[in-house]
Amino acid sequence: MRKLCFALLAAAAPAFADVEAGNWELTVTTAVDGMPGALAPVTRARCITPEEARDPSRLTGGAECQFSNRRDSGSEITFDVSCGGPVPMRGSGSVRYLPQSIDGTLDISADAGGQKIMTRSRIFGRRLGAC
């Protein structure tokens, strides 16, 4: 689920014209409905090239997701998402962004063999510097 969150965040990322290319650190914390507390945060670093910054869809890593209702206010993007694959998922999210930081949430629901799973992920990102 967290790998998907990184992929979704990248795919739903703002029109990175306002976000700087470079080495970024992304941290995702996920809570699953019905489970006490959140799962341990996962942090990953990623070099975002100028080409990827201009075209965020290049960052998705093959996620089978379709985005709709994308709205970008210039400092926040909101979206709905629907993903195929072995466990289909649907959800929505929002990401606030500045040139060197992002902060967002992603709410996802899935049906895994008749069991409904609801998650809420919090995503923080910061630019560390050049790649």
Question: What are the pLDDT digits (tens) for 98-117?
Answer: 888 889 899 999 988 888 99
User: For the stretch 91-122, what's the b/e string if a residue is b when 16 or more beta carbons lie within 10 angstroms of its beta carbon?
Assistant: bbbbbebeeeebebebebebeeeeeebebbbb
Question: What are the pLDDT digits (tens) for 3-16?
Answer: 555 555 555 554 54
* Total domains, the chain: 1
Residue 16 has what pLDDT?
A: 45
Which residues constitute the domain of residue 34?
A: 2-129
Sequence-separated (6 or more) residues with CB below 8 Å from residue 112: 87
